[in-house]
Structure 1
Amino acid sequence: MPTMIKKDDKTMDPPNEKPHKKIERDDIPESSNHIPPPEASVLRGGKMNSKTRAVKAVTSIIVDADEKPQKLSNKVDGAEKQEIGHWSSSIGKFEYLFYKFLLVMLYICFGLFRYGQYQYNKMKLRIFSIIYNHAYTPQLIRQDVVSLKKIPKRLAAILEIKPVGDVGGGVTGLLNDASEIVCWTVSAGIKHLVLYDYDGLLQRNVPELRKEIHSNLAKYFGPSHVPNYAVKIPHSNKTFYNLDGIESEADSGDVVNGNEEGSRIAVEVSLLSNRDGRETIVDLTKTMAELCSINELSVSDITMDLVDSELKQLVGPEPDLLLYFGPSLDLQGFPPWHIRLTEFYWERDNNEVIYSVFIRGLRQYAGCKVNVGK
């Protein structure tokens, strides 16, 4: 029998782990570590991305069209300078302007095509939002789900904080988006939900998140029929319970452990961040290496099953469906070990957490077939 690695092993503790602190809800800048895909960064919104900026980019290309490549030779040295000089001498000014004009026209044509595609996708999303309108009613959500052949047992969603100036931006908007997904999940009858944000803002704002979840659940189910839920932080091995909104030790921020409370919850919400991805795999590898060096674990005991069981204990089981509410799929460091058989769904050019993406993701999962190799 392989030796199981203890979860409370000091080597498995996150480095420089800090206690949870309340963060000013609207004073959080965007992540400076994560670099989104080019398409996602352009469509993210904010002051830096606007139609005026796009027009300025096109006009700057046209204005600079009469500049010869020799001007660039002052910024480079050696072989690059000789190459540019050879290029400028081999073509005439008319030929250079022709190719520059052709490039600008291709850029404008592609821009117009992409703009039309963007407006079409936005219009499609508006139509879907009208068709799939839950009206804050769990019964309507259940009607949308009951016709599906299957629903995921574990659902995951990637959330990201928006600029403070945008609608639904800041930490307040992030918490509201997370609570909305929790309400949809409870109404759909899904028992396990994984919420992932790159910077771990949800993990550091658990009290505010629980209040937001309780408030939205009361809006959907009524103040006297709020379903029970649990908020779990896997890498800290902490679970916070809220039972019918009763003031208890769990509601004060203390950790409650018990099978009785856990068996009565309607949904278990696991909070993950970038720390639970590759860093956890690296820490587990280091721990196994150290245990082998002190002869507490043999090399023959390190198997795929052992690694899989340890990662499930540290992060959680693999989700069946992963939803991303962004314009292009960006996993943002989501735990790679836990998406081997996961179905992905996102809507192109969408940048909002909306119900139509949620229900269409469930519909796609109901019609997909998962082939597991040997």
Structure 2
Amino acid sequence: MTKIQDSVLKKQDEDWKKDQRDHKRVPAITNGIVNPAKPSVGNVKRALETAILTPPDSEEVRKQYGQTQGLWSQSSGKLEYALYKTFLSILFVIYACVRYIQYEYNRVKIRILNLAYSPSNTPQLIRQDVMKLQKLPKRLAAILEKKREGDVGGGTSGLLNDGSELVAWSISAGIKHLTLYDYDGHLKRNVDEFRSSVFHKLCKYYDPTNVPKFAVRIPQWNKVYFNSANADTSEAKKVAIEISLLSNRDGRETIIDLTKTMAELCAHDEMKLSDITMKLIDSELTQLVGHEPDLLLYFGPSLDLQGFPPWHIRLTEFYWERDNDQVTYSVFIRGLKKYASCKMNVGK
């Protein structure tokens, strides 16, 4: 480990001790709507009532009406205002209807895909799906999000189950490196529970006496865990997959810490300014965070990177299903199919 990496890891460790949890992700403002991607008849009704029935109580509007002279001018102004509001309301209703039809179509399509692509806890079925592909990503990444406790598959246990499913699918598909990212770092803080969840999930896919070996790597702590929490480390060195757990702390904040560290080393004449090159930065970030994934999957209604390390997605392919909010095998295999069919032109 170089001096730069050692200094950055020390800073990260100090920040982690000061705050035992990463900065909590603030959800987007949705005006109280549970699922903003899903159109609601009630929301359309409320918007229409606001647009048509609510009188113009804006002070600026009242001022303009007060300056208008004559009964005819005042009546025509109100009529024009009502026409504009009616026209905008009609446009809104048309958009809401089109969006609702589109949402229902996407949801039905996702249900059909889930029925068509069902691994049934069987690695052989996953291998059959993968064997048809021309190429596979060597490094796969996925952005996971913790759902509310009351939702299906919500809470920390739901997040651990989603991560375990992805590990089982990746091993069955022959992918050797998997990166799991969740903004608040719940997987990191529950690494022992996550290892046990992965082990039990692999027992369902494979014979319990022949469970594939795996390693869980946490770059921020510079630690590697092998197999389940009670496994013998000496017997688990050769693994079928390496799982990296990342959070928002491994993104921009790591780049900032690296920049500060190199600036301090230059200020103390421990490093020359000419030594700082793009190759050095790329090498240090690779050691601190990991390699760039070939494919990034997001299991949400619209693509939201949520602070995923920006340095590591320069040539990464993205895939998500619109209006989807579940970690499903259909999204996983369709993402692999898209990657297999894409053509990448890298400039010199």
The TM-score, its normalising length taken from structure 2, stands at 0.89
Distance in 1 (CA, whole Å) between partners of 2:229 and 2:247 is: 29
SS at match of 1:165: coil
SS at match of 1:195: strand
SS at match of 2:25: coil
The aligned runs of 1:1-374 (5 Å cut-off) are 4-9=2-7, 12-14=10-12, 15-18=14-17, 33-36=25-28, 43=35, 51=40, 54-56=41-43, 58-63=45-50, 65-69=52-56, 71-73=57-59, 81=60, 85-86=63-64, 89=68, 92-242=77-227, 247-248=230-231, 261-262=236-237, 264-374=238-348
Identity value in percent: 54
Code of the aligned partner of 1:145: V
SS at match of 1:167: coil
Distance in 2 (CA, whole Å) between partners of 1:187 and 1:86 is: 69
Distance in 2 (CA, whole Å) between partners of 1:303 and 1:236 is: 26
Code of the aligned partner of 2:230: E
* 8 A contact 1:151–1:366 mirrored in 2: yes
In the alignment of these two chains, the number of paired residues is 338
Code of the aligned partner of 1:65: I
Distance in 2 (CA, whole Å) between partners of 1:152 and 1:274 is: 24
- Can you give the 5+ residue segments of structure 2 that lack an aligned partner in the other structure? none
Code of the aligned partner of 2:289: V
Shift in Å, 1:187: 0.2
SS at match of 1:270: strand
The TM-score, its normalising length taken from structure 1, stands at 0.83
Distance in 1 (CA, whole Å) between partners of 2:167 and 2:63 is: 62
Segment drifting more, 90-99 vs 269-278: 90-99
Code of the aligned partner of 2:282: D
* 8 A contact 1:234–1:316 mirrored in 2: yes
Distance in 2 (CA, whole Å) between partners of 1:94 and 1:4 is: 74
Q: CA RMSD in A?
A: 2.7
Code of the aligned partner of 1:125: I
Code of the aligned partner of 1:209: F
Code of the aligned partner of 1:126: R
Distance in 1 (CA, whole Å) between partners of 2:91 and 2:100 is: 14
Code of the aligned partner of 2:49: I
Segment drifting more, 9-18 vs 287-296: 9-18
1:240-263 per-position Cα deviation (integer Å, ceiling 9, x unaligned): 001xx693465xxxxxxx7x843x
Distance in 2 (CA, whole Å) between partners of 1:11 and 1:360 is: 37
Shift in Å, 1:118: 0.5
Relative to structure 1, the CA distance from residue 249 to residue 137 in structure 2 (aligned partners, 3 Å threshold; closer, same or farther) is closer
Distance in 1 (CA, whole Å) between partners of 2:205 and 2:106 is: 29
Relative to structure 1, the CA distance from residue 274 to residue 127 in structure 2 (aligned partners, 3 Å threshold; closer, same or farther) is same
Distance in 2 (CA, whole Å) between partners of 1:280 and 1:331 is: 16
Relative to structure 1, the CA distance from residue 227 to residue 165 in structure 2 (aligned partners, 3 Å threshold; closer, same or farther) is same
SS at match of 2:220: helix
* 8 A contact 1:12–1:284 mirrored in 2: no
Shift in Å, 1:225: 1.5
